[in-house]
Amino acid sequence: MKKACIFLSMFTVLFLSGCTNAKYQTMDNMTWESDRFNIEATSEQLLKQYETPSDEMFNLDTKYYSSIEINNNTYFCIIELVNGYFTLYLVQPELLVNYYEYSDPNIPFFIGEFSDEKIDNEDYQYKLIIELDGSSTSVGTSDGGESHSIYYEYCVDNGIDFDNSLVLYGYESN
Amino acid sequence: MLFRAMFSGFIGISILAIYSLFPMAIEQVDAAAEVRASSVALSENYFSDIVVNQEGNKYYTTAQKIFSSSIFNEYDLVSSTGDFITITYEVIVNSDDKSMTLNIYIEATEENIIENFKGYYMTNYNDEMDVIFNFDGIYMFLSELEDLTAIEQCSIWGNLLHFAINADLFALSVIEPAITIMSIIYNPFSTAISQTTYGINYAYNILNTQPTSYVTKQSDFTNWKFGMSTLAYAGCEVISGYNLSTALGKNYSLAYVTYLYEALGIEIGAAQGYFGSNPYQISYFLIAAGIEYEKVISYSDFYSKMTSTKDYYVILSRWNGEETDDMIHTFMLNKTHYYTYSYPYYVLKIRYRTYNMIYGSSYYDKYTIDDLFTNTTNNSNTFIVAYFIEK
């Protein structure tokens, strides 16, 4: 019985020792680039964005924003890679004229789940395979309405095929 | 009934501490007195002396015991030349990091026998406040050390001794008083530790702007203390409890919910609180808040309830994935069912509105159970526990 108790206590601690709740993608000194939309982000930017409270998020020094290219224009964005979820918010969604009616600071431009792979490749060290969320996730807006991601809504309303694949490649910074 | 009585006591302590946030001075005096009273209960000559002192948030207890030097003879110690040797046991309880540190040394020469051996206050598997020690990777609670046989004590303490010797008779003689003095000290100071740390955290957190609705983005709460960590880093169980209380219309502040988690021992005290909360113990909070619940630890039971037509608020804990370095995430969701008409039938639909599942400024609606789990081939591998609260 005593041995059982000792084992149980060891098991309990070992089990709980993995119990911190948030898994933020912390690969340091990395630069991230995407296969579509020319998303560019650095580890430093992602960490700063993650640590900044929501109400200060849109007042950061611009060097802390990542970037995304849509219709040949580049926009600032905020990216979160937490607990297997990828979200991307536009810093100034009102600048995207075509997407204007879908804009809301609380609505992400992209939502998706990702799995990460460490790659033995001379060009890049990490590959995040992101599956962008289409119809399955609705996002609650600040005024009580519901939406999907801005990009998904835009595709549906304009008869554009929704391509849910996105890959982020991680390169070690020099 | 036992639990209800116990948690009524916890709530009493909670309310007392909230209305008197800094009860340290009273606790210190009481703790010292209780140590002395406990030591009197030992046989008269067990320890030759016990002294309790306090410096800031550290409580020093030193006890001395006189041994016949014969037990040291074979170890060729300078200090073993006389007939008797006095061994000093120093136990330091630090309410800042909720630790207990043991030093054992020979009084005359100050030769260390055991130096800075540190344990941490945390709840054991009997839901009691205890102190956990790490013996080269083997974790044991103080309450378990008390129950070990002499041979088992030798085995586990042997490698910690400062002398390059096998433990045998030496450890048998020297260690037993160490466990005795730690056991005397543990209880009086455990209350003081909880109330000082948690009270200080509450006083700090209540000064922050309290959220007025659901919390959906945990990383906003870097400036909120939880144990020795922060809500941003280790507070998802707390946030799930806060969001549930918000859904139920209870007027709890986030600072108060955080305090309850700490005071009820749901927070894991080891390693300065960095391990977050124990998801199996969220029920303590629910009982304290008077919320009736059903606790489900089987995935098949979970699946059955989640696909039924009954509407619930649910707190779900699951691993973020199946890799060994994946973490736990806990969040609250609002399960509702509705019907859509698709000729010629009405079709049952179920919506899971999640809060703080995906970090963001909003809540997220999911429509399948798979969508509540991430990076998993089989949800039952990553499911931990769920609490169902009927609407």
Instruction: Quick: pLDDT tens for A44-77.
Output: 999 888 888 888 888 899 999 999 999 899 999 9
Res A23: pLDDT? 58
Please indicate, yes or no, whether residues B188 and B312 belong to a single structural domain of this protein: no
| Nearest by Cα to A3 from B131, B120, B144 | B144
What phi and psi values does residue B106 have, to the nearest 5 degrees?
Answer: -80, 125
Whether A26 and chain B come into contact, CB under 8 Å, resolves to no
Structural domain that includes position B120: 22-200
- Chosen domain end from B145, B167, B200: B200
CB contact under 8 A, B233 and A140: no
CA distance B355 to chain A (A): 10
Identify whether B13 is part of a domain.
Answer: no
Residues of chain B with pLDDT under 70: 1-45, 70-81, 122-128, 137, 159-172, 186-200, 267-276, 323-326, 375-376
Identify whether B217 is part of a domain.
Answer: no
What phi and psi values does residue B95 have, to the nearest 5 degrees?
Answer: -75, -10
**Which tens digit of pLDDT belongs to each residue from B225-254?**
887 788 988 899 999 999 999 999 998 899
Identify whether B71 is part of a domain.
Answer: yes
Chain B residues within an 8 Å CB radius of A22: 218-219, 232-234, 236, 327, 329, 359
Arithmetic mean of pLDDT over chain A: 80
Q: Are B356 and B219 in contact (CB under 8 A)?
A: no
Res B188: pLDDT? 61
| Nearest by Cα to B252 from B262, B264, B243 | B243
Please indicate, yes or no, whether residues B191 and B238 belong to a single structural domain of this protein: no
Res B264: pLDDT? 74
Contacts of A84 (CB under 8 A, 6+ apart): A23, A113, A114, A115, B320, B321, B374, B375
C-beta atoms surrounding B351 within 10 Å: 15
Rounded Cα–Cα distance for residues B236 and B319 (Å) = 13
What single-letter DSSP state applies at residue B187? H
Rounded Cα–Cα distance for residues A48 and B79 (Å) = 58
Q: Are B177 and B224 in contact (CB under 8 A)?
A: no
Chain A residues within an 8 Å CB radius of B279: 19
Supply the ipTM of this predicted assembly.
Answer: 0.80
CATH code of the domain in which B233 resides: 3.90.70.10
Please indicate, yes or no, whether residues B169 and B229 belong to a single structural domain of this protein: no
Res A119: pLDDT? 74
Please indicate, yes or no, whether residues B136 and B235 belong to a single structural domain of this protein: no
Whether A1 and chain B come into contact, CB under 8 Å, resolves to no
Residue B36 CA: distances (Å) to CA of B51, B52, B130: 8, 8, 20
Mean pLDDT across A118-139: 84
Res B17: pLDDT? 37
Please indicate, yes or no, whether residues B150 and B86 belong to a single structural domain of this protein: yes
Please indicate, yes or no, whether residues B190 and B303 belong to a single structural domain of this protein: no
Chain B residues within an 8 Å CB radius of A1: none
**Which tens digit of pLDDT belongs to each residue from A103-127?**
777 889 999 988 877 777 778 888 8
Residue A31, both tokens: 């630069």
**Is the alpha carbon torsion for B293, B297, B303, B304 positive or negative?**
negative
Tally of domains within chain B: 2
Beta strands (DSSP E) in B69-107 are 84-94, 99-106
Band of pLDDT at residue A15, cut at 50, 70 and 90: very low
Q: Which residue in chain B is spatially nearest to A129 when comparing CA positions? A: B375
C-beta atoms surrounding A167 within 10 Å: 13
Q: Which residue in A8, A13, A20 is closest to B233 by CB distance?
A: A20
Res B221: pLDDT? 92
| Nearest by Cα to A87 from A150, A29, A38 | A150
Please indicate, yes or no, whether residues B268 and B379 belong to a single structural domain of this protein: yes
C-beta atoms surrounding A74 within 10 Å: 11
Name the residue ranges covered by the structural domains of chain A: 22-172
Q: Are A22 and B276 in contact (CB under 8 A)?
A: no
Identify whether B252 is part of a domain.
Answer: yes
pLDDT at A22 over 80: no
Identify whether B301 is part of a domain.
Answer: yes
